[in-house]
Structure 1
Amino acid sequence: MATLVDVAATMEILRETAEICKLILENTNWQIRLLSKSSLLKLLVTKNMIATEYHHRLIMGFSTGTLDDRLAASIEKGTSPVSKRIKALHELQDLGIRTFGMICPSLPYASQEDYDSFSRAMCEALRIDRCEHVWAEVINVRGHSLVDTVKALRDGGYTAEAERVEAVSGTGKAERWEEYARMTFEAHKKHVPADKLRFLQYLGKGPADYWSEERGAGVVLLGKEAVKNNLLSFESSGEIVPFPALEKEDVQYHAERVDIVSRALNSAFLAARALFEIKTYKDGILWKIESKTFEEYCARQWKYQKSQAYRLLGLGRFLSKFPEKDSPFGEDSPVRESHLRPVLEKVPEEHQMACWESYGETASAGKVTAASVRSHVEEYLAKKGLDVSADLTPERWWRDRARARVKLLEADFAKLGFAKESARLLEQLVALIDGAQVAAGADGTNLNDPRG
């Protein structure tokens, strides 16, 4: 589940994961496999973020390419220490939760004996007797991943490891890479039963005999060459079985479930817009009649925490600038609410629409990612001469917003013919805003939260 974002990278993302899982579990009979590099993943179960009645349909695992916390930290940024991931895995296993192992990405070693020792240690740590399957893979080559890995290893003081990666990668080293992959597989083959092992291997353009013959021992072939050679398959009890053709009712069942998930993703936009409308309708009459503050109202109605309420409120404020039937992402674009966060959190309100529209001119539907939005936001802010050194602080957000209001006042005064008379007053007002410490609004809203 999730190919571009770790499903448990932060608590906010974990909550989104829980909501999506609950929707799928309540409306289908699917099982859900969750993989993460964050020990937070266990909270889905230990904190009952997903109801106990569905726990038997969850299969949970953690990426663990090494048991060395310091080595892992040099090549994996912003992840939990491997030791914490292993501990979280054991906690889930002790609770009877279905688990799987993921030995990935594993680095090259100097000899077959070293590969064997690595595999043995990993299998013991993962307690593979309690894992339904053990997935494994060598370094996954994507873009500049090998170059970045080598640099990160050197920067972390792992010179020998960096040299071994260099020795198997690059132009003219296809045979060395093949040897690295085979030795890694042979090691896992000794320690993981064939019915549990799932060794992921992208098939190259060379002879496929070795990998084809090893499919019964746990090899799962991937990539264009595997498709070309009709070797893309899954295994069951050691026997290679081709993918079955879908019947008409299978296609219909799939389409219905895709529609359910799609509607759930869109519901975040509907909820955000509605929340903003409740907040602003007739100066807040809808919530003020029963609550002292909007925070209290949200907590009473939906058990929203303050941060969740203001995050949705900020999104709703942005969405309110579009006609209700329209989406800021286009009718068929699968953009999620999280993709908008860089704009909402970093860009002053008066620039948000222009920033998003300029992003839309360069992004194509279906290829919108949080990373590309974040990169565009930084470029936009730099181009406009705005501060990009840090996220918006509450004080800065309110100062920018107040200054924008002053600009509107200035334009109104000019229309009325009072431009000269108002210049000094407006100048003093801007100075006051720049030095002000905004505490709380008259309606009880926490103005120290920039999303409020």
Structure 2
Amino acid sequence: MRFSRTKINQAAVDQCGSRFDPHRSEGLVIGFEDVVDALKTELHDHHHKPGKGMTVVYSQLTDGFSPTIVKDGTTRRILNLLIDRTEYRIRVLTKNAVVGSPQWVRYFTKHADRFVVGLSVGTLDDVFAKRLEKGTSLPSARIRALHRLQDAGVPTFGMLCPVFPSVLESDELERLIAAVRPEFCERVWSEPYNNRSNWRVVRDCFDRKSFTYDWLTRVYGEGNKLEWSQYATNLYQRIISVAKAEKWCDKLRYLLYEEGIADSHVPDFGGLEGVLLQSIDKKTGISVNPKFAELQQRAQLTVA
């Protein structure tokens, strides 16, 4: 969804007395009053129900279960429209534990053939997450919500994202994997923390003497690409090791921006089992990293 930053800034000044800063405007909610009507119009233009055999994500870049739109009914109206006027399977991704509340569990159970639900969680440390993920449910609450959905028979997926390097300093990663209960998940997705324009904002959530603050400074402030490569590689190896031991490798989807992986670490990704390469040529599907392109070719030959 596109919007004018100038208009947003002016609206923020008019209503709040200050300009809009996406990194520091924790309590500011940007609402689009016509979003439901716009979706109705878009779906009305289709002569047949779209989406047969396809999946739509609700929602990938924003949280479709943000408290404000859950409370005012926007979330329910949008999902009802998708159920009634499309044939998409709906993949719900959220950080709001409300999806595990009795009313939402009943809703998803009623439409179990149309939904698969996941809660993004990258740590079991509520204190860590509270500093970083302001305005979201605590990881412990998200895990409980996921379990309620699973126990009710609602299709679910695990979303270990993003897993910060501090999680790899102990057995927290393995405990996190166990917490999402892969045996009940259709897929287990995971992703390392990737370079983003707001890394300084993320870093400033932590004490200057903390492991995470120091790591973010070295990797993004000082440009230590090798350290990020080692971290992303270690994360994959730890997850695939558990997946192999527990026999759910077919469920793993590890999102990897492989252009940042050093040549010396490429062999550690073996046959790319469970890896979804993100730095690929859209026309050919081949990685822009020559070393990973070689792995792709070997993997194809092995399958053939």
For residues 314-358 of structure 1, the C-alpha deviation after alignment (integer angstroms, 9 at most, x for no partner) is: xxxxxxxxxxxxxxxxxxxxxxxxxxxxxxxxxxxxxxxxxxxxx
Indicate the SS of the match to 1:18.
Answer: helix
Conserved in 2, the CA contact under 8 Å of 1:43 and 1:49? no
Name the counterpart of 2:203. Answer: 150
Question: In the alignment, which residue of structure 1 is the partner of 2:221?
Answer: 170
Confirm whether residue 88 of structure 1 aligns to residue 145 of structure 2.
yes
Contact 1:100–1:135 under 8 Å retained in 2: yes
Letter of the 1:6 partner, please give it: D
Structure 1 residue 33 corresponds to structure 2 residue 87? no
Question: Residue 47 of structure 1: CA displacement?
Answer: 6.0
* Unpaired runs of at least 5, structure 2: 1-57, 288-298
Partner of 2:120: 63
> What residue identity is the alignment partner of 1:197?
L
Cα pair 1:200 1:222 within 8 Å, conserved: yes
Correspondence for 1:138 among 154, 178, 192: 192
Q: CA deviation at 1:4?
A: 3.4
Partner of 2:241: 190
Question: Shift in Å at residue 3 of structure 1?
Answer: 3.1
- 1:203 equivalent in alignment to 2:262: no
Structure 1 CA distance, aligned partners of 2:188 and 2:220?
26
2:115 & 2:251 partners in 1: Cα distance? 17
Structure 1 gap segments, 5+ residues each: 233-238, 241-452
The whole-number CA distance in structure 2 between the counterparts of 1:228 and 1:175 is: 29
On the 8 A contact 1:45/1:55 being kept in 2, the answer is no
- Counterpart of 1:219, as a letter, is V
Question: How far off its partner does 1:49 sit?
Answer: 4.6
Rate the CA distance shift 1:165–1:228 in 2: closer, same or farther, 3 A.
Answer: farther
Aligned-partner Cα distance in 2 for 1:213–1:60: 28
1:386-397 aligned within 5 A:
none
SS in 1 for 2:218: helix
TM-score with structure 1 length normalisation? 0.45
Residues 211, 231 of structure 1: CA spacing in aligned structure 2 closer, same or farther, 3 A cutoff? Answer: farther
Residues of 2 paired with 1:59 and 1:36: CA distance?
12
Who is 2:231 aligned against? Answer: 180
Q: What residue identity is the alignment partner of 2:254? A: F
Counterpart CA distance in 2 for 1:191 and 1:121 is 11
Give 2:276's aligned residue: 220
- Contact 2:166–2:211 (CA under 8 A) maintained in structure 1: no
TM-score relative to the length of structure 2:
0.66
Report if aligned partners of 2:60, 2:93 keep a CA contact under 8 Å in 1. no
Provide closer, same or farther for how the CA distance between residues 190 and 182 of structure 1 changes in structure 2, counting only shifts above 3 A. same
Look up the equivalent residue of 1:168 and give its one-letter code: V
Contact 1:103 1:137 survives alignment (8 Å): yes
Q: Secondary structure at the match of 1:56?
A: coil
Say whether the 8 Å CA contact 1:65–1:106 is kept in structure 2. yes
In structure 2, do the counterparts of structure 1 residues 132 and 45 end up closer, same or farther at CA, with 3 Å as the change threshold? farther
What is the identity, as a one-letter code, of the residue corresponding to 2:251?
K
Q: CA deviation at 1:167?
A: 2.9
Per-residue deviation, residues 11-53 of structure 1 (Å, max 9, x unmatched): 5346322222222222333211111111012348546456x44
| Aligned twin of 2:178 | 124
Q: 1:221 to 1:88 in 2, by over 3 A?
A: same
User: Residue deviations 1:242-286, cap 9 Å, x none?
Assistant: xxxxxxxxxxxxxxxxxxxxxxxxxxxxxxxxxxxxxxxxxxxxx
Structure whose alpha-carbon radius of gyration is higher = 1
Q: In structure 1, what residue type is equivalent to 2:164?
A: L
User: Identity percentage over the alignment?
Assistant: 30
Question: What is the total number of aligned residue pairs between the two structures?
Answer: 227
d(CA) in 2 for partners of 1:59, 1:47: 12
Q: 1:207 to 1:140 in 2, by over 3 A?
A: closer
CA apart distance, 1:207? 6.4
Distance in 2 of aligned mates of 1:41 and 1:2: 13
Give, in angstroms, the shift of residue 143 of structure 1: 1.4
Q: Match for residue 72 of structure 1?
A: 129
Instruction: Quote the offset at 1:66 in angstroms.
Output: 0.6
Matched residues in 1 for 2:233 and 2:105: separation? 41
RMSD across aligned C-alpha pairs, in angstroms?
3.0
Shift of residue 159, structure 1, vs aligned partner: 1.4
* One-letter code aligned to 2:150: Q
Q: Contact 2:105 / 2:152 at 8 angstroms: preserved in 1?
A: no
Matches within 5 A, 1:401-416: none
